[in-house]
A and B are shown apart, each in its own frame.
Chain A
Amino acid sequence: MKAGSHLEKMFAAGHFAVTGEMGPPRGADAGHIHEKAKYLKGMVESVNVTDNQTAVVRMASMAVCRLLLDMGIEPNLQMVCRDRNRLAIQADLLGAAALGIKNVLCLSGDHQKFGDHPQAKNVFDIDSMQLIATCKKLRDEGKLINDHECEGVPQYFIGAAVNPFADPFDFRVTRLAKKIEAGVDFLQTQCIYNMEKFRTYMQQAYDQGLTEKCYIMAGITPLKSVGMARYMQKFVPGLEVTEDFIERLKGVDKKKQGDEGIKMAIEQIQEVKEIKGVAGVHVMAIEWEERVEEIVTGAGLLPRPEIS
């Protein structure tokens, strides 16, 4: 065991793992977190807590992670390189370990241009690959980036994101391999709306033996409407939405599109489960936490296996 988190144990026991995601509030209301998180409890192994996602200021991921722990929910601390230099990142990583956070997800971070503080100065002192390496060095060597030894070595189950749909496609599996070399234990993919491309990507990863070296979780986000699908298709760089998704949503009454989206998400989970090398799913029900139970149940993934 690297960190002995629940998520890690589930993988180690050979279970098909499920993670969820929630975005902290744009304010100091802890009640909001309890409200959202209660829908995820018992549905997933652990919950990603986003870190100023889309470069919009929100309650600190680490604080929300601790609140989740208090609720008996295991968190995955997302950490981006946009807002912190190596001093702050390492300080936060040490603090997270002290608070009992065991899963860390290392990300570059969306550029602040599209966020709510586009005038901000960004940092990017280190990148996501180096952030993975930082976590690994802290954990495996007990040392900071500068080789200084830590008093009290933190334990993390190290995660990161991969996007099979961004360009150049031929480099994407190499980038996955680099994340493994840097020290990643598990990976979550960008939302999948191009199943063929995902299959090709996973096949390449499998053929290169990469799926043996880390746990890869397929990213699933249920579509709420044709509008949401079109928005993602047109305006989210690096996201591909094939027309069949849109056509299927169009085929039902507008009021039923959400239900259809949930159904599609369930089918997707069933599909990815059969793909070699997929070790779990990461369900990102954006502002739709209350429907996670339906998705996980529909996919036949409830109840979650008990594990000590």
Chain B
Amino acid sequence: MVVAESKPIEEILAMVADFDKILLTGCKGCVTVCNAGGQKEVGILASALKIARKKEGREIEIEEITLERQCDPEYIDQLEEPIANDKYEAVVSMACSVGPQYIAKRYEDMLVFPALNTTFIGGSLEHGVWAEFCQACGSCGIHNFGTLCPIARCAKSLLNGPCGGSAGGKCEISPEIDCVWHLIYERMSRLGQVDKMANVVMFKDWTTSRDGGPRKIVREDLKQ
């Protein structure tokens, strides 16, 4: 899933400093799963903003709404009614950054702000802990690396084994980060495939990654 986290409350307060009526929109997709922008977090952020503004002596009116998804135009329709009556000065989206862009595209005259920092494609390790697993290079080859991704999980995206900074199974940039090449080595050893690691992996073609420009998928079989 797309993993995101809340921006600091001060940053969000600064974004809405000029407004007295805002629409706060959550998303029931990835950001609900990673506890960053679902219905519950919308409620928490709305309360926090109201309390902070009350302290400033300038109360703010916030309507809360959580959409099925913000990355699909059909669900953005759910904002039609609250936005149509011109009641709100701005929309604050608690989806990944796709959400605010979709809302801004639909409502060209509306100011739209992101309440989250979209961080990575990943998964949870334990309750309250998430980590990056994929960099969306667009050409998956993890099966060649013990089904672990060195592009996303090696700090240098190395393709030919651990650098000289791998120590005790940890990455040189932080003792909190596993050296993925150490994990790859252990797994390949377990699978009896360590011989495969002796082959030099040549240049990666990054055209399928962001380096090829913003990406788009067209599925003719699904288009109407």
Contacts and interface: CB of A to CB of B under 8 A. Distances in A.
A127 B172 contact: no
A110 B166 CA distance: 12
A171 B162 contact: yes
Interface stretch (B2-10, B23-31, B123-131, B153-161): B153-161
B182 A130 contact: no
B167 A167 contact: yes
Nearest to B197: A174
Given A111-B156, A111-B172, A126 B200 contact: no
Interface residues of B, number: 34
B164 to A, nearest CB: 3
Given A111-B173, A167-B182, A168-B182, A127 B160 contact: yes
Contact of A238 (B164, B185, B201): B164
Interface in B91-150: none
A19 interface: no
Contact of A127 (B158, B164, B174, B179): B158
A102 interface: no
A213 interface: no
A129 B159 contact: yes
A171 B201 contact: no
Interface size on A, as a range, is 35 or more
Among A168, A181, A182, the one with the most B-chain Cβ atoms within 10 Å of its Cβ is A168
Interface of A: 81-82, 86, 108-111, 113-114, 122, 124-130, 133, 145, 161-163, 166-168, 170-171, 174-175, 177-178, 181-182, 190, 237-238
A175 B199 CA distance: 10
Interface in B168-199: 168-174, 179, 182, 185-186, 194, 197-199
A168 B160 contact: no
